[in-house]
C-alpha cells in the first residue's frame, strides 16, 4: 500500500495530525464502528424490554434509521466545499450525540429521532471514509486495503460487543448509551480540531449521476434490499421468537466480529486475485441459501450459524467498491460512492415497514423468502461485471 497502517504522526507540541493517512482513516473507522455496534447490539433488547416494541414498531424505527442513507448523496454536495477528513470527523460527532440521545429517550418516538441522528453520522461517514481509503490505495491493493480496514472494523465490533457484555452487567441500558456516546463525542471533537484538510488536486469535483456507473448503482440498490431485510429481521427473529437475552446477543456479535476479523482480509485478497465479478456472484449464490435457511429452519444453533455466514458474506462489498474505484475518476469517487449509498437505501425506508407488516400478516418466513428472490436477481446482475482482466483503474 502507498501508506503505512501505522498510527498517524502528531506534532509533539499541539497534537495536531500532520496528514491524513491510512492510519487516520482506520482510527476514525474504529471509533465510529464501536459506537454503531453498541447501538446495534442494544437496540432490539432496549426497544423490547423498555418500550415493549412490536415488530411494526421496530420496522418503523429501522425504516426511519435508513432515511439518512437515502439522503447520503448529500455527502457529494458537502465534498464540494469540505474535505473528506472534516466530513468524517463531523460524522463521528453526530454518532456520539445520537447515542447519548438514545439513552435519554422516554418514548419510542424519541428513540426513533435519536436513532436518525446517529444514523446521519454513520451513513455520511461510510462513503467519505471509503473514498479516502480507495484514493490512498494502489490498483492491485484495493481489495487487500479494504479487507484490512474491514478487519479493523470487525475488531471494533468485537470491542463494542465486549463493552456491552461487560457494561450491561453493572449499568442500565441508558447509562451504557451515555457512557459510550460521551466517549465518541469527545473523540469526534478532537478529530474535528486536529485533522488537516486532505483535499488534493484531483481534478474538478462534480456531483451528478453518470450512466457509466449505472451497473454499480443497480447492484448497490439490490444489495440494499436484501441487506435491510436481514439486518432488520434476522436478529429480531432470534430475540422475538427464540427469546435471546442481551447477554446472548452480545456473545453472538462477539463471535461474529471475531470471525470477520480474518474473513474480511481473506475476501480482500480473493478480490484482488480472483476479481470482483467472481466474488460478487459467488457470495450472492451463498446468500440465497442463507435466506432460505432463515425461512425454513427453526433449529437455533443453525440459525446463529447462518447469521454468522451472512455477516461474513457482507464483506463482498469490498469487491463492489473495488469495482467502482476501477471504473471511476478520482474526482468523481466521493460523489459516486455517496450516490451508491443512496441507491443502497432507496428500499430501506420501505422494506422494514413492509417487512414488519408482512411478518404480522403472513408469518416470519415471508420476509426471508422475499430476500432470497432479491439476492437471485442480484446474482444475475453481478454476472455483467467485467472480469478481472478487463478492469483497469482510471487515474
Cell of 94: 453526530
CA–CA gap between residue 312 and residue 306 (Å, rounded)? 10
Domain annotation covers residue 9: no
Band the pLDDT of 12: cuts 50, 70, 90. very low
CA–CA gap between residue 353 and residue 276 (Å, rounded)? 33
Q: Is the pLDDT of residue 22 over 60?
A: yes
Cβ neighbors of 167 (< 8 A, separation 6 or more) are 175, 176, 179, 180
Band the pLDDT of 254: cuts 50, 70, 90. confident
Kindly report, residue by residue over 105-152, the tens digit of the pLDDT.
888 889 999 999 999 999 999 888 888 888 888 778 888 999 999 889
Residue 208 confidence (pLDDT): 64
CA–CA gap between residue 306 and residue 149 (Å, rounded)? 24
Domain annotation covers residue 395: no
Domain annotation covers residue 12: no
Kindly state the percentage of the chain with pLDDT values over 90.
Answer: 32
Domain annotation covers residue 245: yes
Residue 10 confidence (pLDDT): 41
Is 153:261 a contact under the CB 8 Å cutoff? no
Domain annotation covers residue 348: yes
CA–CA gap between residue 267 and residue 275 (Å, rounded)? 11
Domain count, the chain: 1
57, burial (CB in 10 Å: exposed 0-12, middle 13-18, buried 19+):
middle
Give the torsion sign (CA, 275, 329, 1, 151): negative
Cβ neighbors of 357 (< 8 A, separation 6 or more) are 56, 59
Q: How far is CA 246 from CA 47, 250, 253, 298, in A?
A: 12, 6, 10, 20
Domain annotation covers residue 13: no
Residue 1 confidence (pLDDT): 42
Q: Is the pLDDT of residue 3 over 50?
A: no
Domain annotation covers residue 5: no
Kindly state the percentage of the chain with pLDDT values over 70.
Answer: 90
Q: Is the pLDDT of residue 266 over 90?
A: yes
Residues forming beta bridges with residue 158, ordered by sequence position: none
Q: Which of 135, 124, 144 is nearest to 21 (CA)?
A: 135
Cβ neighbors of 299 (< 8 A, separation 6 or more) are none
Is 136:22 a contact under the CB 8 Å cutoff? yes
Q: Could you tell me the CATH number of the domain that includes residue 303?
A: 1.20.1250.20
Q: Average pLDDT for residues 282-296, to the nearest whole number?
A: 93
Is 97:117 a contact under the CB 8 Å cutoff? yes
Tell me which residue range forms the domain holding 251. Answer: 22-198+205-390
pTM to 2 decimal places: 0.78
Instruction: Categorise residue 324: left if φ over 0, alpha if ψ from -120 to 50, beta otherwise.
Output: alpha
Q: Average pLDDT for residues 204-208, to the nearest whole number?
A: 62
Band the pLDDT of 200: cuts 50, 70, 90. low
Question: Cα Rg for the chain, rounded, in angstroms?
Answer: 20
Name which of 76-85, 346-355, 360-369 the model is least confident about: 346-355
Coil, helix or strand at residue 204 = coil
Is 340:217 a contact under the CB 8 Å cutoff? yes
Q: Average pLDDT for residues 44-70, to the nearest whole number?
A: 81
Q: Average pLDDT for residues 285-296, to the nearest whole number?
A: 92
Residue 14 confidence (pLDDT): 55
CA–CA gap between residue 175 and residue 198 (Å, rounded)? 36
Q: Kindly report the CA angle at 23 between 133 and 342, in degrees rounded to 5?
A: 35
Domain annotation covers residue 7: no
Q: Average pLDDT for residues 38-64, to the nearest whole number?
A: 82
Residue 202 confidence (pLDDT): 47
Residue 219 confidence (pLDDT): 93
Q: Is the pLDDT of residue 395 over 80?
A: no
Amino acid at each position: 500500500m502507498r501508506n503505512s497502517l501505522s498510527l498517524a504522526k502528531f506534532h509533539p507540541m499541539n497534537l495536531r495530525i500532520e496528514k491524513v493517512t491510512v492510519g487516520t482513516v482506520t482510527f476514525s473507522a474504529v471509533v465510529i464502528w464501536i459506537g454503531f455496534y453498541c447501538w446495534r447490539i442494544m437496540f432490539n433488547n432496549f426497544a423490547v424490554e423498555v418500550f415493549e416494541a412490536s415488530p411494526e414498531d421496530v420496522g418503523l424505527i429501522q425504516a426511519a434509521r435508513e432515511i439518512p442513507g437515502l439522503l447520503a448523496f448529500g455527502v457529494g454536495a458537502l465534498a464540494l466545499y469540505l474535505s473528506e477528513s472534516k466530513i468524517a470527523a463531523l460524522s463521528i460527532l453526530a454518532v456520539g450525540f445520537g447515542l447519548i440521545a438514545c439513552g435519554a429517550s422516554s418514548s419510542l418516538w424519541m428513540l426513533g429521532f435519536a436513532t436518525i441522528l446517529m444514523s446521519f453520522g454513520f451513513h455520511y461517514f461510510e462513503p467519505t471514509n471509503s473514498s479516502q481509503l480507495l484514493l490512498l490505495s494502489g490498483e492491485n491493493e484495493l481489495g487487500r486495503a479494504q479487507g484490512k480496514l474491514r478487519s479493523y472494523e470487525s475488531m471494533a465490533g468485537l470491542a463494542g460487543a465486549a463493552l456491552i457484555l461487560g457494561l450491561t452487567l453493572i449499568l442500565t441500558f441508558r447509562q451504557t448509551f451515555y457512557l459510550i456516546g460521551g466517549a465518541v463525542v469527545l473523540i469526534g471533537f478532537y478529530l474535528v480540531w486536529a485533522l488537516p484538510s486532505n483535499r488534493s488536486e484531483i481534478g474538478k469535483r462534480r456531483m451528478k449521476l453518470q450512466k457509466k456507473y449505472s451497473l454499480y448503482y443497480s447492484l448497490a440498490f439490490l444489495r440494499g434490499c436484501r441487506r435491510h431485510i436481514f439486518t432488520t429481521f434476522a436478529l429480531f427473529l432470534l430475540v422475538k421468537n427464540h427469546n435471546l437475552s442481551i447477554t446472548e446477543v452480545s456473545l453472538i456479535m462477539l463471535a461474529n466480529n471475531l470471525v470477520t476479523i480474518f474473513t474480511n482480509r481473506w475476501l480482500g485478497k480473493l478480490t484482488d486475485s480472483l476479481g470482483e465479478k467472481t466474488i460478487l456472484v459467488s457470495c450472492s449464490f451463498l446468500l440465497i441459501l442463507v435466506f432460505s435457511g432463515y425461512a425454513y429452519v427453526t433449529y437455533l444453533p443453525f440459525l446463529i450459524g447462518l447469521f454468522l455466514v451472512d455477516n461474513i458474506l457482507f464483506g463482498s462489498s469490498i469487491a463492489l467498491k473495488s469495482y467502482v474505484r476501477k471504473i471511476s475518476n478520482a474526482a468523481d469517487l466521493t460523489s459516486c460512492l455517496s450516490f451508491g449509498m443512496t441507491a443502497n437505501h432507496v428500499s430501506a425506508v420501505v422494506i422494514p415497514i413492509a417487512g414488519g407488516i408482512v411478518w404480522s400478516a403472513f408469518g416470519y418466513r415471508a420476509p426471508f423468502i422475499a430476500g432470497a428472490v432479491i439476492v437471485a436477481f442480484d446474482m444475475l446482475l453481478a454476472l455483467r461485471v467485467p472480469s478481472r482482466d478487463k478492469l483497469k483503474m482510471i487515474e
